[in-house]
Chains A and B, each alone.
Chain A
């Protein structure tokens, strides 16, 4: 395989390709290979012992569990929000549409701090949950809420364009032929937006698994209970146990790669379905 390009009159390939590649190698590939090398250089038994330590396993369970629940909440409510924004006209719609991206722009430390204040036992919303014994702050529920906020725009912003492209006459046809709204939703709307929903779900999940900033404020960081995996890496680093931190870091990196692969496959599937229905 030769790294050749097709002929073009436009100049600047050499310098832009060279600079981009150099920047990526120095900033991304070199540091990431330092992590992989550190993990691979460890004694295998020690590596396994570190990554299957009960405290580490408890942190995976929490990180994965809370991220799965958060992404599932988002897939339901994110769909409803996207549907509302695409199909209905109501005062303030453009404002809501603009503010969906807030979690992209808002620093995670700010959202964590604000959520922990809102859901504290004497907070605006926490005071209504407290009498029922529902504890949010310093509990897994708080982590889930923070992760829901972080992942929300991913689901809304991937489902929204899919809903916009959905032709309304198909639904009307289904209704005219006697389908109930529920049946139309299950058999007509849902299959059409399913790839987008799954992509949004995976994006939200991938972002949530690695999240750290907002969680530190709301989680309380109790070992075995509210300790997420990224926090465990930081704890190992504070103990100057670089090898253990790198080992857990390798596990997280492997998860990131798996997520990236899943997202690409889902998007491919979505495009195939669109082009298949266009051919029909």
Chain B
């Protein structure tokens, strides 16, 4: 009896909060048929937003992956003073409000910011331009790969790497042939999560982008523009693309968990 009651409460809670909105996205997006969906996405501003999101992600994700691997190697393989400071700094962006994350870059590179005058003199625009969007996205998403790898590498230990080095292997050889094969699934999950968050970031990007249509609007910002124009079908069409990305991310995550038997948080 309790069992049925509790399962029922859980399903009702998740149904109202999770399933209904997700179903709403796809029903509204495809409600007018495939053709309407496709034509809303091929609108020139929408196409520009999709291109910008893809460009920013293509810059952010590789850099954050590189950082994540470096930070994880440094933290998991060595014992040194100040390690907990480094760990706290890595976690910091997750605790800071996205709006504050955008604000700090405005204060640094904006017209009244620390480097504002210098940038204006050299005619470099960062705020209200693509570099600002890239920086803000990078700030918001850089913990993901590192946080995925650090516990995994700590758990795996150093024995195999030490054996390889002692037997005469070089550092790079050891990384590619000993470490990478053991961390590849965790790394893959970190990368796809970082990718999903990078494509979907709203708050930080909205502060630095200036929302110039066709120029500095990313997909999430474009959803807001279309919504304010009462173009509901258009807004939901873009939302459906991002939802598909989220669903795909979860499917890959679940497959990885089944394959490796390790749960990711």
Q: Which residues of B contact A249 (CB under 8 A)?
A: 99-100, 103-104
Are A217 and B7 within 8 A (Cβ)?
no
What's the interface size class on A, roughly?
A: 35 or more
Give complex CA distance A256, B91 in Å.
11
Q: Which residues of B contact A145 (CB under 8 A)?
A: 17
**A195 in the interface (beta carbon within 8 A):** no
Give complex CA distance A275, B205 in Å.
43
**Stretch of A47-55, A167-175, A230-238 contacting B (4+ beta carbons < 8 Å):** A230-238
| A-B contact sample (12 more), CB < 8 A, given A237-B103, A260-B88 | A8-B77, A9-B162, A9-B165, A34-B107, A105-B200, A118-B16, A118-B20, A118-B21, A210-B96, A212-B99, A213-B220, A234-B207
- Asked whether A107 and B3 contact (CB < 8 A) given A31-B108, A113-B227, the answer is no
Give complex CA distance A17, B75 in Å.
8
Majority SS at the chain B contact face: helix
Measured CB to CB, the closest approach of chain B to A136, in angstroms, equals 11
A-B contact pairs, 15 of them (CB 8 A): A8-B79, A10-B165, A20-B75, A28-B93, A34-B107, A81-B14, A105-B250, A106-B242, A107-B219, A110-B246, A114-B21, A117-B28, A118-B16, A212-B202, A256-B100
Are A6 and B78 within 8 A (Cβ)?
yes
Give A240's nearest chain B residue, CB to CB. Answer: B112
Give complex CA distance A151, B104 in Å.
25
**B59 in the interface (beta carbon within 8 A):** no
Measured CB to CB, the closest approach of chain B to A172, in angstroms, equals 16
Give B108's nearest chain A residue, CB to CB. Answer: A34
Give B15's nearest chain A residue, CB to CB. Answer: A125
Are B14 and A260 within 8 A (Cβ)?
no
- Asked whether A88 and B104 contact (CB < 8 A) given A34-B114, A105-B193, the answer is no
Majority SS at the chain A contact face: helix
Q: Which residues of B contact A34 (CB under 8 A)?
A: 104, 107-108, 113-114
Are A9 and B166 within 8 A (Cβ)?
yes
Taking CB atoms and an 8 Å cut-off, the chain A residues in 108-135 that contact chain B are 108-111, 113-115, 117-118, 123-125
Query: Chain A interface (Cβ within 8 Å of chain B)?
Result: 1-6, 8-13, 15-17, 19-21, 23-24, 27-32, 34-35, 38, 77, 80-81, 83-85, 88, 90, 96, 98-111, 113-115, 117-118, 123-125, 145, 148-149, 152, 157, 181, 206, 209-213, 216-217, 230-231, 233-234, 237, 240, 242, 245-246, 249, 252-253, 256-257, 259-260
